[in-house]
Structure 1
Amino acid sequence: MNKKLLIVGGIVTAVVLAAGFFFFRKSSQRGADVIVNVKQGTFRIEIETTGELEAKNSVKILGPTRLRDFNIWNITVQDIIEEGTVLKKGDWVATLDRSEFQKRYGEKQIELEKANSQYVQQQLDTALSLQQARDELVNLRYDREERQIVLNQSKYEPPATIKQNEIGLDKAERAYIQAQENYKIKRQQSVEKMRQMGAEMRKLQNEFSDMMTMMQAFEVIAPEDGMVIYEKGWDGKPIRAGSQINMWEPSVAKLPDLTTMMSKTYVNEVDVRKVKAGQSVEIGLDAYPDKRLKGTVMRVANVGEQRPNSDARVFEVSVEISGTDPALRPAMTTSNRIVAHVLDSVLYIPLECLHSQADTITFVFTRDGMRTIKQEVMIGATNSNDAVVLAGLPRNAPVFLSVPTGMEDESILLLKEMEGKRRRNPGTLDRRQAGVPSEAPSGRQ
């Protein structure tokens, strides 16, 4: 009898130990899961970007502005003052390479000398030609007078002789009149030709005079007082000694007005629809980590662009910084947090809690008493960390950050609110294919 009791007691002890081991193992596995509670409060939809400070208003320091008229499209910076130097009006800023322009200058000088020589030659040719025409007029007038005298003396001659003398006088008269008309036309032609050559020469003289003035513009000086900031070229790099300046935009540097600063940043094409003028911006400075600034979105570009070394399309956003701070300098790097929207008193959970199935059902793992379930949720707005829960979870409900052990193949409790909103197409799984029973109850509100 005692032996039987010992055997039964041993079996009971083994069962209890096995159950305890199993329970302890389950508890250990569950203890590894991280659980957070659904929060309620203010939800901020923010877009974080990196920007660069620049002055809202600035005066450009320009090199020669008319070099395109002489088929010069690029010019090299030989030397330039150090960036950040405080200048007075009239101070030297940069020296530009004038070698190509000097070549054009020499060609224009030769062209002007040649045109001047042709003008003088034309004057001499015109004077000689008109003098010959006037001499011919005098000779024709004398010939006409001689014919008149001959006709007067032939009144006692035979009629045939008189008729012949009359014809000779008529010819002389017509020749004289025709010569007078030709002289007027010839003189007018000479005047117009001289006027045309004079205009061409004056044009060359003006161009040469402009080139003499532009020769001085290769020594760039400051138009106003201020701190010089290098302009950026087409490649986004600052213009330095050896850089090329395009004559469509011959800006060498600029003098910024530091009283009003802007942060120029770029937003990707996915987020740009959320950004609008007038939104508030929280701004940080890499140079001063403890300094926090406020700003306002002033402009959002309508056309996207592709930045160097990037494949993504972005849109330029200009943020005006509130107030004045003497510590701010152009080209400082800023961290911008654009507050796109603020929702009051909403439920939200971390993005890590969300899972999807069949590309149409969004769900979370939560607790229903002592039981872990897969609950469909309706999600609203999201930011970089959290998502708003519109339906499916109550306040303070526990939610798993990761997939609990053994819950991968569990059925999803669907929401009635989502019926008709789930996408139906040949590539979407139906309720049974998703592992969801057709009579599944709705989630808690």
Structure 2
Amino acid sequence: MSRSSRPQANRSRSLLFRAGTAIAVLILLGAGIWFWRQHQAAGAEGAFRTAPVERGNIRVSISSTGTLSATSTVIVGSQISGQVTEVLADFNDRVSKDQVLARIDPKTYEAQIEQGNAQVASARASLEQALATQRNAELDYRRKSELVQRQLVARSDVDLARAALDQANAQVASARAQIGQQTASTQATRVNLERTVIRSPVDGVVLTRSIEPGQTVAASLQAPELFTIAEDLAQMKIELAVDEADIGQVQPGQGVAFTVDAFPDRQFRGQVQQVRLAATTSNNVVTYPVVVAVDNSDGTLLPGLTVNAEIEVSRRDDVLKVSNAALRFKPADQAAAGPAAMAGGMRGGAGMLDDLAGFVATLELTPAQRAAFDSDAATARARQEEMRKAMEAAIQNAQRSGATGASGGGMPPGMVVMRGGPAQGAASGQMRQRTLERFQQNFAGFLGTLDESQRQAFEREIAALAGARRVMVHRLENGKAVPVQVRVGVSDGSSTEISGGVKEGDLLVTGERAATR
């Protein structure tokens, strides 16, 4: 190597060393900044307990217990008394309509029929005798009527003949009535004779049998129960006892999931068929019977099984949800947070416009109608932004003047401050009404382009949005709890559906951690 090339190599190695040193310093500096920021963020987040906004399903159900039974159960009794001679059906037997189930000794009724037949024959003979007497009395009356015209007999003889004829007519009528009476009595005995054969009134399955051959049936004041027949076990029902606090949520057509102890690893399905009004009170607890229809085509379920059921009163799929603790959180300094919370609510109010835009997307709008909605929505957002800025300015003025307490000084005109107590319900109603009116005014141009059905659907959605329940939650942003207003939906007791100024993955504050030294 020449002497001139050595200085160049030394300079190259020096430049490479300096560049490597600079890169290493930059890497170390960047790593330090990243670790410092992570440490700061961890310290800020450590001041709060949080829960993430997740996407999933919410299922709201009501638990209750009841008993399985056949849809239609028929009790077969006896209308007559006597000794049972035959029992032709047993437990669990399938029977068809008019099939003979049992027989009662018919000898008593057969004897009564023979006696009745004899009495009818006797009455007929009495009738023949009365007819003969009637004919004789009639002839005698006619002869004496002719003779009295020639004054050959006395008027009194004619009167006696007339009375004898009337008496004969009465005897004929009596004899005929006797025949009818005896015939009807015999017919009644024949009906009772037919009732000695106990037949099934329906197609079904014998659930219970209460008689044995040789047993005497006594039908005096009420018909004794001989058999219980389930008409159709392929279709069954459950009678649930639902508490009065939950009955308002139960409607016909809702799905029911239930289990029975006989098959603990299997879940069955049914459907609410009827909500009955016959309330029952027991130990000051009011319950209402709810009838659930169950398909038992495979014959697995049995009458009388105890059921643990859950009535699905509401189900929301693929929605944003959060732990209920996030809805209950209130900042420690509630008074100072009041105006800021209201400003946060103003920022979250844009969620109503987003919800409305999502609904409008489901309507079949023309391009002109869509343009009218976009124009009105842009105007509404601008007005909302002006109100938000006015609110923030009022808050800043109040803070500078030391009036950041609950008095709400410096609030913009038209703002309603919720203070709780009896006036809270009225104030909430006023706010809903004002929100509804404001939306109708903001979208007056768009409403003018809709047909009647579209207009009604849009107005229903506005009313639903205005009447929706809204709460203030606190989203963790840069270590601070920022108030955001959201709309809440159904709740399953641990999680609640929310929508509005939050998105999936946001951390909502559920509580504050105790300060550590």
Compute the TM-score of the two structures, normalised by the length of structure 1: 0.50
Compute the TM-score of the two structures, normalised by the length of structure 2: 0.44
Greater helix fraction, Structure 1 or Structure 2: 2
